[in-house]
């Protein structure tokens, strides 16, 4: 597996070694010892999640506050999404910046998103199956969000606003400057 740090160095693109032949393909999507050696700390994923969505569905920007903050390892099993990770760590040199990466069943890339980032994605294909590992369980009281179209963030979601399908909860998230962020 190849690991590449993004412009926000704590967000890492993971590219598997894909073995292909006439039968199809095989790859390791997660190997704990390789990840830990690259990031320099221990990983303790506790849960795998999967979501199926249609084109235009935008989920995010979500996160949980400590002590329930989550590290995520995300990938697409079917289809294509634009994945977004926003740095919400107030003392970070990249505070308020984001990474955007296309994840698909064709490129098989994964994105490692550590604690201290808001996360979201929009489905670019007709349908997508999105899978992710987390290292902490969901906690409703700790759950927070940021408005997906906050002008301060200037995220290009790659689809016109009238094509987006967004939950009422996500339509009513606070702006970045008003959100509860990581200290």
Tens digits of per-residue pLDDT, 47-95?
999 999 999 999 999 999 999 999 999 999 999 999 999 999 999 999 9
Domain count, the chain: 1
Q: What is the domain extent for residue 110?
A: 2-178
Confirm whether 132 is a catalytic residue: yes
In a domain, 115, yes or no: yes
pLDDT bucket at 104, cuts 50 / 70 / 90: very high
- Which residue in the list 25, 62, 119, 137 is annotated as catalytic? 62
CATH of the domain at 154: 2.60.120.10
Under 8 Å between Cβ of 120 and 62: yes
Residue 95 DSSP code: T
Active site residue 63: no
Please pick, among 98, 112, 121, 132, the residue that the annotation labels catalytic: 132
Give the pTM. 0.95
**Three-state DSSP class for 124?**
coil
Asked if residue 183 belongs to a domain, the reply is no
At 183, is the pLDDT very low, low, confident or very high (cuts 50, 70, 90)? Answer: low
On whether residue 13 sits in a domain, the answer given is yes
Is there a contact between 96 and 152 (Cβ–Cβ < 8 Å)? yes
In a domain, 40, yes or no: yes
Q: State the sign of the Cα–Cα–Cα–Cα dihedral 69, 112, 80, 124.
A: positive
Per-residue pLDDT at 94: 97
Segment 2-35, tens digit of pLDDT: 999 999 999 999 999 999 999 999 999 999 999 9
Q: Give dist(CA 65, CA 76) in Å, integer.
A: 25
Residue 53: inside a domain, yes or no?
Answer: yes
């Amino acid at each position: 597996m190849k690991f590449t740090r993004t412009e926000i160095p704590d967000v890492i693109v993971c590219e598997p070694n894909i073995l292909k032949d006439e039968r199809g393909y095989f790859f390791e999507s997660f190997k704990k010892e390789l990840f830990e050696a690259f990031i320099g700390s221990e990983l303790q994923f506790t849960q795998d999640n999967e979501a199926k969505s249609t084109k235009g569905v935008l989920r995010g920007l979500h996160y949980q506050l400590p002590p329930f903050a989550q590290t995520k390892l995300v990938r697409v099993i079917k289809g294509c999404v634009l994945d977004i990770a926003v740095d919400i760590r107030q003392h970070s040199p990249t505070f308020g910046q984001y990474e955007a990466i296309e994840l698909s069943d064709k490129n098989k890339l994964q994105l490692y998103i550590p604690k201290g980032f808001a996360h979201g994605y929009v489905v670019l294909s007709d349908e997508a199956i999105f899978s992710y590992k987390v290292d902490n369980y969901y906690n409703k009281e700790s759950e927070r969000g940021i408005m997906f179209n906050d002008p301060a963030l200037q995220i290009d979601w790659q689809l016109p606003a009238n094509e987006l399908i967004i939950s009422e909860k996500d339509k009513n998230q606070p702006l970045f400057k008003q959100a509860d962020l990581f200290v």
